[in-house]
Amino acid sequence: MEEHDGRLPKQKKVKVVFVLGGPGSGKGTVCAKIVEQFGYSHLSSGELLRKEIKAGSEHGTMIQNMMNEGKLVPSDITVRLIQKAMQETDNDKFLLDGFPRDEENVRTFEKLTKIEPDFILFLDCPEEEMTKRLLSRNQGREDDNIETIKKRFRVFQESTLPLVNYYASKGKVRKVDAARPVEAVFESVKTIFSSANEQGA
């Protein structure tokens, strides 16, 4: 068994925060602000997968089909994209936005990177509010339609929330009420990251 030493293959010691929350809870919005204020690099797994589709890569069509159904892409593909992006980024602090989504994501990430997250930022938001946000997002995402949104909510409830509960039982979850205006959400997030900085996390 390999040692679990929190290093990528290039021997870079890194800090990772998983940013979780339902579809439309504001993960991308809040990550952009954390980047500005705390110097993390933001890697959205959904965004990395969408880039694969646009690039017409080997797995592009399969990824597109899974996304349009609100289903999860095989972990091996997602984790390798994240790992590559981390290795290409000259930073030692990463926000993994929308990752992990299920147990298989976690197992694959641990196996390939040997990294444990410092903590999990969890954006808690009711479905009604998330639906409203997604339907008015206007970013041209094919999965922002009501049928797919309902499927994405189901995957979140069945596969991602149990993970959040698991990490909570280990004292690793920092939960924020994400149903408030962006500025109020970010005030809470700032407190969490400032405290993590002080503790050297």
Classify residue 2 by burial, with Cβ atoms within 10 Å: 0-12, 13-18, 19+: exposed
Q: Are strands 41-44 and 173-177 parallel, antiparallel or unpaired?
A: unpaired
Residue 134's closest CA among 151, 121, 146? Answer: 146
Size of interface with ligand L45E5XJ5, in residues (CB under 6 A): 18
Residue 5 vs 187, nearer CB to ligand ATP: 187
Q: Using CB distances below 5 to 8 A depending on partner kind, what does residue 101 bind out of ligand ATP, ligand L45E5XJ5, Mg ion, none?
A: ligand L45E5XJ5
Among positions 12-51, residues that touch Mg ion (CB under 5 A) are: 27-28
> CA 136, CA 92: separation in Å to the nearest integer?
35
Q: Are strands 173-177 and 119-124 parallel, antiparallel or unpaired?
A: parallel
Secondary structure (3-state) at 137? coil
Task: Note whether 16 binds ligand L45E5XJ5 by CB under 6 A.
Answer: no
Determine which residue in the list 18, 40, 94, 99 makes contact with ligand L45E5XJ5, applying CB under 6 A.
99
According to the annotation, is 28 in a ligand binding site? yes
Determine which residue in the list 111, 137, 150, 154 makes contact with ligand ATP, applying CB under 6 A.
137
**Single-letter residue type at 16:** V
Q: Which residue is nearest to ligand ATP (CB)?
A: 26
Instruction: Tell me the two tokens of residue 130.
Output: 């998330």
Applying CB under 6 A, the residues found at the interface with ligand L45E5XJ5 are 23, 44-46, 49, 66-67, 70-73, 78, 98-99, 101, 105, 143, 152
